[in-house]
Amino acid sequence: MTIDNLKAAVKRADWYDPELNPKIIEFGRHYGVVIIPTMPFTPEHKGKVESSVKYVKNNALKGRIFSSLEEENKYLFDWEKNVADMRIHGTTRQQVFKLFEQEKPILKPLPASLFPCYQEGKRTVHRDSFVEIARAYYEAPPEYIGQEVWVRWDSHVVRIFNRRLEQIRVLARKRPGEFSECLSTRGRSTTVEHTVEHWRDLAMKIGEHCGLWADRIVDIRGCHGIRTLQGLVALTRKHRAEAVEEGCRLALANGQYYLENIRSLMKNPVEQNQFDFLSSHPLIRDMSEYKEIFQAITGNAADPACGDHDFDQRCGASRQAAVPDPAASGSTNKQEEVA
């Protein structure tokens, strides 16, 4: 079927790669026809169709006035049977009626039902996995959360399609304010917990360490960590999945469980190595050497009672006792001077 590039049928006109409206595609699929638009601004590509309209206007309707639609339809039915079908066609040079009798056995029967009249449009699946249609809410598969889907609805049924126009769910129409499914069903404890599990699954798809980091976030924060998981998945929009995976690996190694840590590690991927402190080394002196140095400074001889363990306490007290008392020195007390 050749059509013009009308906006209701053709979203983007192009001779080699036109973009058709999804509804006109379904219309052609319903009736078993292929719809091909003409070249833009080239009506002569469907000249035979245009000439047929002109033939009806000039031959059947020109100069005639009808009192009702019923009268006009009756006249056109008789005109088609006795005039239009009996004429010799200008292209085939045959009588229209006889040529149609030859083509009639090849034609396919019409579908049993008319093409349904429905509305359609794009919707974004909310984080609770529902889409809104006419103030009612219909559940989409949870793997489509945050994505755009195509929905079609009439007075009875709502159909949800993915971006490839593959039907993913069929639901009964609901009244405004109603949900297609009661919340907290199918094993869900709450909608929030179900959403947390979904975002954790998305994190696991990025990489093994991303999944482990997401598990730790859920263990530490519970349902409050949903925004953190959403931010982790959102990093893949601006960065490669390998970079996010490496950032999570470093964050796990450093015990860091904030999204800002991953962003920083992705910019400066420095891994902190943990070292064990040495107990013996040529540069590390023995405690007995420090004991001798301390005794040399304080001027105290080695005290047998001052062991290595209570070295700091007893020898420290000896040092305090060795400090000279100003009263015992030759200085004169101010009170004595007054006397």
What is the model's pLDDT at position 3? 85
Of 195, 99, 89, 84, which is closest to residue 139 (Cα–Cα)?
195
Q: Would you place residue 242 in the very low, low, confident or very high pLDDT band (cuts 50, 70, 90)?
A: very high
**Domain 119-172 sits in CATH 2.40.50.100:** yes
Cβ neighbours of 256 (radius 10 Å) = 18
- Half-sphere exposure (CA, 13 Å, Cβ side) for 41? 0
Q: What share of the chain is helix, strand, coil (3-state, %, to 5)?
A: 45, 15, 40
Could you tell me how far CA 279 lies from the centroid of its own chain? 54
Vertex 172: Cα angle to 169 and 176 (nearest 5): 115
More confident residue, 79 or 272: 79
User: For the ranges 124-133, 148-157, 292-301, which has the lowest average pLDDT?
Assistant: 292-301
Residue range(s) of every CATH 2.40.50.100 domain in the chain = 119-172
* Beta carbons of 315 and 295 less than 8 angstroms apart: yes
What is the model's pLDDT at position 275? 58
**Parallel, antiparallel or unpaired: strands 2-3 and 36-37:** parallel
pLDDT surpasses 50 at 195 = yes
User: For the ranges 54-68, 215-229, 264-278, which has the lowest average pLDDT?
Assistant: 264-278
Residue 54 contacts by C-beta under 8 Å, 6 or more apart in sequence? Answer: none
More confident residue, 320 or 197: 197
- Across the range 225-241, mean pLDDT stands at 89
What is the model's pLDDT at position 50? 75
Whole-angstrom Cα distance, residue 293 to residue 297?
6
